[in-house]
Amino acid sequence: MNVKDKVAVCSRSFSGNSILRAELLARYQHVTFNDAGIQLKGDSLVEFLRGHKKAITALEILDESVIARLPELEVVGKYGVGLDMIDMKAMRAHGKRIGWTGGVNRRSVSELVVSFAIAMLRHVPLANREVLSGTWRQHVGGYLTGRTVGIVGCGHVGKDLVTLLRAFDCPILANDIRDYSDFYAVNGIKAVALDELLMQSDIVSLHVPLDESTSNLLNAKRLALLKPAAVLINAARGGIVDEMALKEMLQTKRLAAAAFDVFSVEPPRDMELLSLPNFLVTPHIGGSAHEAILAMGRAAIIGLDENQVPSIDFAN
């Protein structure tokens, strides 16, 4: 145990978890938790982190303007798997180190995706709304079993989703910039171009990070490739899908349904989109399972001691 290192825990979820608190305090004596439950950003984030050598962050944005004002901060342990909120170029420039483990919440996200797919195929959100409003009407849906699922991004979560879909005998198409040919061969997956995946899939699930190459990846032109009966699922990152174009497609029934856990702006403000009967929304809960929270928290704790200055291809 290093009693000299001061640690700041920005994450409200981590700070409120008694198990993670105890495990961190077993390693570090001087810890500042976000017990006030404040959403830290900009100046408030700098003030919270100031005077600490190490930090655990989640969705807090660590950009150049924040990193440059924290010369004493040496290490960031990442709570969660997304890295789009951390400016890796600035981290390298200022000699900061990061401890990160990919895929620690994969089962939490992949199970949510399966629940989304079944819910939308069986019209669960719409049926629930109608019953609560006094309408008792049976909706005829369809099986997940046997439907073609397109997975955009076959990393940790995408691979885990493949495992769960075996029970449903789903033909699977995959698109990824990396070569996973061995995994595809073992699991009977067909690797295809993105446009082909969108045209052929009954369900499309997104599992790519948000960066320059994936921002607005599914723009209006690409969304128009989807089957009218398809279901689009995004439990990855907001900003990957053109939400305005998506809303128009759902309104005009050119797309049957969509389920999103993430948005370009959170919380989302487009109430027209959120209130559509063929749209299911959750508040970024992909990693919010008890088991995943512990796994992410423990990875962040380990990251305080096992870390590196991020390279150009960090996390790839």
- Residue-wise pLDDT tens digits, 209-234: 998 899 999 999 999 999 999 999 99
- Residue 80 — pLDDT band, cuts 50, 70, 90? confident
Q: How far apart are CA 153 and CA 142, in angstroms?
A: 25
- Residue-wise pLDDT tens digits, 277-300: 999 999 999 988 999 999 999 999
How much is the pLDDT for 81?
Answer: 83
Q: Where are the alpha helices (DSSP H) in the chain?
A: 12-15, 18-25, 43-49, 64-67, 88-93, 106-121, 124-132, 156-165, 181-187, 194-200, 220-223, 243-251, 271-274, 290-303
Catalytic annotation present for 284? yes
How much is the pLDDT for 3?
Answer: 40
Domains of the chain are 6-104+289-303 (3.40.50.720), 106-281 (3.40.50.720)
How much is the pLDDT for 1?
Answer: 41
To the nearest 5 percent, what fractions of the chain are helix, strand and coil? 35, 15, 50
Q: How far apart are CA 316 and CA 313, in angstroms?
A: 6
**C-alpha closest to that of 239 among 256, 255, 204, 263:** 263
192 and 172 Cβ atoms separated by less than 8 Å: no
Q: How far apart are CA 259 and CA 242, in angstroms?
A: 14
- Residue 2 — pLDDT band, cuts 50, 70, 90? very low
- Residue 5 — pLDDT band, cuts 50, 70, 90? confident
Instruction: Look at residue 232 and give its three-state secondary structure.
Output: strand
How much is the pLDDT for 82?
Answer: 81
* Residues in contact with 281: Cβ distance below 8 Å, sequence separation at least 6, in sequence order: 259, 260, 261, 268, 274
Catalytic annotation present for 139? no
- Residue-wise pLDDT tens digits, 178-211: 999 999 999 999 999 999 999 999 999 999 999 8
Q: State which amino acid sits at residue 276.
A: L
Residue from 47, 64, 72, 266 carrying the catalytic annotation: 266
- Residue 311 — pLDDT band, cuts 50, 70, 90? confident
Q: How far apart are CA 152 and CA 197, in angstroms?
A: 8
Q: What is the DSSP string of 208-225?
A: ---STTTTT-B-HHHHTT
| pLDDT cut 70: percent of the chain above it | 97
- Residue-wise pLDDT tens digits, 46-62: 999 999 999 999 989 99
Does position 97 have pLDDT exceeding 70, yes or no?
yes
How much is the pLDDT for 312?
Answer: 60
Q: Where are the alpha helices (DSSP H) in 26-105?
A: 43-49, 64-67, 88-93
Question: Measured at the alpha carbon of residue 159, what is the angle toward residues 146 and 291, in degrees to the nearest 5?
Answer: 105
What is the model's pTM?
0.87
Residue from 12, 97, 123, 237 carrying the catalytic annotation: 237
Catalytic annotation present for 266? yes
Residue from 196, 284, 298, 306 carrying the catalytic annotation: 284
**Stretch (H or E) spanning 234:** strand 231-234
Does position 85 have pLDDT exceeding 50, yes or no?
yes
In the predicted model, what is the mean pLDDT of the chain?
94
